[in-house]
Amino acid sequence: MKFNKTLFLTFCMSFMISQAFAWGQIGHYLIGYMASIQMKNSSRKKVEKVLFPMSIGRSGIWMDEIKSDRSYDYVNSWHYLTSKDGEYDPEIQEKGGNAYEAINTLKAELKAGNLSPKEEGEKLKMLIHLVEDIHQPLHVGTGEDRGGNDIKLEFFWQQSNLHAVWDSGMIDRWDMSYTEIGNELMRRVNSDLINQYRNSTINDWLKEAVALRPMIYKLPESKKLSYNYGYENREIVEERLIAASIRLAQILDEIYS
């Protein structure tokens, strides 16, 4: 009986932790995997050396894992930001920082260099994670529902919330590995698409996220989501993953070329 209780508690903790991971582990692995394919060989080797023994894909979940370490509490608000209409307003952000400021700061620090191996490794893992995070549309929040976390609903007959559905719920339902999904999505990546996404700024990323809100928040009165919601939004999820991978590859190439 004691053994079963332990297993139950372990399962509950694992479930709660998984709900806190932006994009979920598969999503982060996937974006990093696709970015590594698109990067220049020279810059990829440099990035892999800094991150070793982690892969680029694996490093994307490190910033979620350190949530259990209180010494990193200062980065808790870096995972998201608030935008009312697609613009960045510093007056309505968390005092501890946000994804917009953190991405710009980390890029500048990594480009400047003069960091210890530990500092460079941690800042690089944070940058990778945050670029991935900000492409999950609900990480650009309205400031009213904690990025959809307060919208409780059922997803395939399980209690969940809107944020968790977009972080991992829909991707997990595909029942594919990150390499299987990545190889499928990479078939769509061509020079025109790369140029489209690279010719943008982080301010454009915010506008993209806000433009998707009508579809994301198009919920039935019952708040019970299943096949139809996943079908209607699959293209959006895939597009956001592709965009994140292209832009992450671009940023890492800029820093390490």
d(CA 162, CA 139) in angstroms, rounded, equals: 12
For residue 39, count other CB atoms closer than 10 A to its CB.
24
d(CA 31, CA 248) in angstroms, rounded, equals: 8
- pLDDT at 23 exceeding the cut of 50: yes
Global pTM value: 0.90
Return the domain boundaries, the chain.
18-256
For residue 153, count other CB atoms closer than 10 A to its CB.
20
For residue 246, count other CB atoms closer than 10 A to its CB.
22
Asked whether the beta carbons of 215 and 236 are under 8 A apart, the reply is yes
- pLDDT at 10 exceeding the cut of 60: no
d(CA 189, CA 184) in angstroms, rounded, equals: 10
The most distant pair of C-alpha atoms in the chain lies apart, rounded to whole Å, by 60
| 179: helix, strand or coil | helix
- pLDDT at 21 exceeding the cut of 60: no
Convert the pLDDT of each residue in 138-190 to its tens digit: 999 999 999 999 999 999 999 999 999 999 999 999 999 999 999 999 999 99
Cis? peptide before 53, omega within 30° of 0:
yes
For residue 60, count other CB atoms closer than 10 A to its CB.
30
d(CA 100, CA 201) in angstroms, rounded, equals: 11
The CATH code belonging to domain 18-256 is: 1.10.575.10
| φ, ψ (nearest 5 deg) of residue 79 | -75, -10
